[in-house]
Amino acid sequence: MERKSYQVKDPRNLSILTDFYELTMANGIFQSPLRDIVCVYDVFFRRVPDQGGFAIFCGLEQAIDYLDNLHFTDGDIEYLRERGIFCEEFLEYLKNFEFKCNVWAMPEGTPVFPKEPMMVVEGPAIQAQMLETALLILMNHQTLIATKANRIVRSAMGRPVQEFGARRAQGVDAANYGTRACYIGGCVSSSNTMMERDMLIPAGGTMAHAWVQMFPNEYEAFKTFAEKYPDNTILLVDTYNVLKSGVPNAIKVFDEVLKPQGKRPVGIRLDSGDIAYLSKQARIMLDEAGYPDCKIVASNSLDEYIIRDLLINDAKIDSFGVGECMITSKTTPVLGGVYKLTAIKKEDGSYEPKIKISASIEKITLPYKKQVYRIYDKATGKATADYISIWDENVDLCPNEMTIFSPTEPWKRQTLENIELKPLLVPIFVDGKKVYETPSIEEIKTFCAQQIDTLWDEVKRLEYPHIYYVDYSEKLWLEQMRLLNEKQNG
């Protein structure tokens, strides 16, 4: 049966979801000569979560919905008027607000690396700087959770991972958008019913310990469940004693309820104890009882390291249910993405580069409006490095050979042959009008898996991954050095 979404899409108006200083700056810009300038901003992050090899860009669909629905209500205008610091002309501008920015972004699901722009925004200074807070909220969160989910999925070595985290998420939006990000990151399903209704993410589950506790005994609890759901019997066997009562009672119900109907059990779930040991013993018991096809599901505060250790210990686990550690990215709960001014467009159409300097090297920004290219080895199809250039540089997409160098250690150079380059930033809005066809979540999920498959296994290691190089064009690097020297000496 074809699945359908049951909710009519009605994006919330998030125009007023911004740090207050964005509005005070906008009001100041409106009343100054800066009102007519066009600015370029980059969205990027500085460090990969969990010291991993890459992140997964996520949240673009919600960012597009936000930008496509920008408007200020009468209530918003009245609230700002009552603050007493905004001029009436500026409030009238907001009342008649019309989005005029150009936006480029990487397709959602793209593996992304530190310092390279995931999104570029170009537009009137008043508008472009007001977008910072909401864009970072929408993309920082989902990029973080998709990245964590993919780490956990990869640690499961092909075994399905289900997202069980809604109850531990930090708020309703974190639960719902977290579910979306986990699915894009590779999870097969979720416990979150709303996200099946609204986004067609498969929802499912087993039972709670409370179900077992409500019955006179464990056997009656299992028997009733199997009678009600003979085609989807998954029994939670650790309420009392896994090996002495849980698994034996499950087998008894399989024999007495399912077998006479010609049905087979789907599985049992372990949610506590020494899961490696219990799974091995449960597997022996199920096999001897004639249920080698009965799956064993493990849950209980799992993360990528616990899952890896369970498999190293030869745990007989067929799938994993992961909650709090994934939906909150517990080990690294903040991505730290930023929104930085990189250029101002001049009247002649050229760009004046802008740079932010810091004593911390990682906080020095990369100037200019830019494009990001991924370099692929034609022989293997694998991504070799990323290459950032100034926007209007003439970059050969199929060069005979290409020499790249480390921007932090420019004496380290490598010549690449038999390669092709693919630009990663694609148009999303042109003069405020959406020109991008948002793919379905299944298309995003499939694209994400395909793109991760282009990365070398060494880049995908959970610990001490190979550093994937993000190099700059020589012109861009020289311009950054020039600006650094100019600003420091000035």
- Average pLDDT value for residue range 468-478: 96
Q: CATH number for the 20-145+333-489 domain, one of 1.10.10.10, 3.20.140.10, 3.20.10.10, 3.40.50.9100?
A: 3.20.140.10
- 10 Å CB burial of residue 308 (0-12, 13-18, 19+) is middle
Q: Give the model's pLDDT for residue 358.
A: 84
Mean pLDDT score across all residues of the chain: 95
Convert the pLDDT of each residue in 299-312 to its tens digit.
999 999 999 999 99
Please give the DSSP secondary-structure letter assigned to residue 230.
T
Element counts in the chain: helices (H) and strands (E):
16, 21
Map out the domains of the chain as residue ranges: 20-145+333-489, 205-316
**pLDDT at residue 1 greater than cutoff 60:** no
- Given a cut of 90, whether residue 120 has pLDDT beyond it is yes
Q: In sequence order, what E strands does 214-345 have?
A: 234-236, 267-270, 295-298, 319-322, 338-345
On the question of pLDDT at 256 being above 60, the answer is yes
pLDDT in tens, 68-104: 999 999 999 999 999 999 999 999 999 999 999 999 9
Q: CATH number for the 205-316 domain, one of 3.40.50.960, 3.40.50.2000, 3.20.20.70, 3.30.420.40? A: 3.20.20.70
**pTM summary value:** 0.96
**Has residue 360 got a pLDDT over 90?**
no
Give residue 487's pLDDT band: very low, low, confident or very high (50, 70, 90).
confident
Tell which residue, 222, 191, 410, 226, has the closest CA to residue 322: 191
Exposure string (b/e) for 239-249, b if CB count within 10 Å is 16 or more? beebbebbbbb
Q: What are 204-228's pLDDT values in tens digits? A: 988 999 999 999 999 999 999 999 9
Does the pLDDT of residue 313 top 70, yes or no? yes
